[in-house]
């Protein structure tokens, strides 16, 4: 195997983590010091993070094909094997079985379940929560003007299942802070200033990137 590819495949998780960490730094600067990155809008950041997930999915799909093609006789056979009719399908997806009844059926089923399903779940979950946050902003406030869009980006950065950790921790941090803040300022004659919650989700996203596996292990 090519030395560079071997290095990438062996350290892919670490490489992706570094990329997301650097991206999160840019997002953090965009939120706290927008004048430093005037030409980087949240919409551009959203397109970048969506594009990266798709490119990543394509790359690891190709990588899996490459590894099997260069592997043993068994993996080479699996590359050109239809999906067995004995493989169980969720009832609501049974209609799609015919898609995998071709020469790359088993491989397609494998990469879809192992790689692309988490990407699709992440996109769907993030989109649903984005609309919930949009509605919340309209009726209850608590977000900056582009707050829901920023949270959408952060959820995508968190990945799956990191989004569960980041959203949960974001609300926990925000709730604890507001309780402390308002108790501390109860006797203050001046009303407390408006504080948006996006910053707490930036912190929770960082924690999700670093410790999701550990947190999920103890949660489950």
**110-138 tens-digit pLDDT:** 999 999 999 999 999 999 999 999 998 88
Mutual angle of helices 42-69 and 12-32, in 10-degree steps = 180
Q: Of the given ranges (6-10, 64-68, 137-141), which has the lowest mean pLDDT?
A: 137-141
Tokens read off for 103: 């020469």
Report pLDDT for 163. 97
What band does 194 get if pLDDT is binned at 50, 70 and 90? low
Residues 6+ apart with CB under 8 A from 68: 75, 76, 78, 79, 107
Tokens read off for 72: 């043993």
Structural domain tally of the chain?
Answer: 1
Examine residue 133 and say whether the peptide bond preceding it is cis (omega within 30 degrees of 0): no
Report pLDDT for 1. 61
Range of the domain at 132: 3-219
Whether the per-residue pLDDT at 151 is higher than 90: the answer is: yes
Q: How many Cβ atoms are within 10 Å of 134's Cβ, its own excluded?
A: 16
Q: What pLDDT digit, counting tens, does each position of 18-67 carry?
A: 999 999 999 999 999 988 887 899 999 999 999 999 999 999 999 999 99
- pLDDT: is 150 or 96 the higher one? 150
Reduce the secondary structure of the chain to three states and give it as a string: CCHHHHHHHHCHHHHHHHHHHHHHHHHHHHHHCHHHHCCCCHHHHHHHHHHHHHHHHHHHHHHHHHHHHCCCHHHHHHCCCCCCCCCCCCHHHHHHHHHHCCCCHHHHHHHHHHHHHHHHHHHHHHHHHHHHHHHHHHHHCCCCCCHHHHHHHHHHHHCCCHHHHHHHHHHHHHHHHHHHHHHHCCCCCCCCCCCCCHHHHHHHHHHHHHHHHHHHHHHC
């Amino acid at each position: 195997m090519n030395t560079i590819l071997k290095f990438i495949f062996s350290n892919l998780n670490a490489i992706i983590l570094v990329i997301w960490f650097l991206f999160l730094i840019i997002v953090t600067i965009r939120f706290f010091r927008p004048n430093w990155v005037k030409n980087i809008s949240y919409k551009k950041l959203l397109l970048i993070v969506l594009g990266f997930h798709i490119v990543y999915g394509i790359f690891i799909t190709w990588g899996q094909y490459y590894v099997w093609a260069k592997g043993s006789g068994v993996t080479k056979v699996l590359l050109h094997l239809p999906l067995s009719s004995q493989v169980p399908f969720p009832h609501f997806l049974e209609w799609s079985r015919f898609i995998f009844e071709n020469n790359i059926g088993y491989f397609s089923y494998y990469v879809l379940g192992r790689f692309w399903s988490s990407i699709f779940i992440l996109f769907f979950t993030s989109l649903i929560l984005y609309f919930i946050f949009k509605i919340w902003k309209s009726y209850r406030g608590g977000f900056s003007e582009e707050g829901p869009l920023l949270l959408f980006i952060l959820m995508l950065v968190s990945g799956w299942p990191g989004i569960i950790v980041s959203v949960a921790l974001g609300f926990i941090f925000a709730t604890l802070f507001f309780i402390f803040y308002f108790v501390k300022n109860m006797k203050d004659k001046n009303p407390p200033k408006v504080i948006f919650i996006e910053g707490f989700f930036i912190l929770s996203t960082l924690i999700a990137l670093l410790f999701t596996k550990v947190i999920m292990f103890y949660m489950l």
